[in-house]
Amino acid sequence: MSSERNKHGVTFADRALLVSLVLLTAYCFVFTKKAMPQGSEVKIEVSGTLLYTLPLSHDRTVTVQGPMGATIVEIHAGKVRVKASPCHNRICVHQGWIDSGAVVCLPNRVLVTITTPGRQGEFDGITG
């Protein structure tokens, strides 16, 4: 046993290693949180054309023009809804706030989907 060991046999290098590993891990946590795309994206399509790609984390209200008129889509507090629609049955409006999946308004041909960036064409889970 070398002289630098204490009675538990733990060396200075052990402690230094433990501390640096803990720091590295903490940095890892912070780094991955920053590097990860913040939440998801809201995509608004009308008649099959992508009009908007918006971050779900930023509150915003947009108005899109469909064949029947203006549909108002509102993003608030990480959720999205169709606020107003010119269609008759207003299924889209009644669906309310969603944080995953999609809202579809067939009459006005508006499609609001929530996706994770970089994961196009692959469905992890669909609700609604």
Q: Which residues bind another protein (CB under 8 A)?
A: 2, 5, 9-11, 13-14, 17-18, 21-22, 24-25, 28-29, 31-32, 35-37, 118
Nearer to another protein, 18 or 106 (CB): 18
Phi, psi of 101 (to 5 degrees): 85, -140
Strand locations in the chain (E)? 41-46, 49-55, 60-65, 70-76, 79-84, 101-105, 110-115
Pairing of strands 60-65, 79-84: unpaired
Nearer to another protein, 4 or 126 (CB): 4
Q: CA-CA distance, 24 to 54, in Å (whole number)?
A: 34
The distance of closest approach from Cβ of residue 7 to another protein in the complex, given in angstroms and rounded to an integer, is 12
Nearer to another protein, 9 or 125 (CB): 9
The distance of closest approach from Cβ of residue 122 to another protein in the complex, given in angstroms and rounded to an integer, is 10
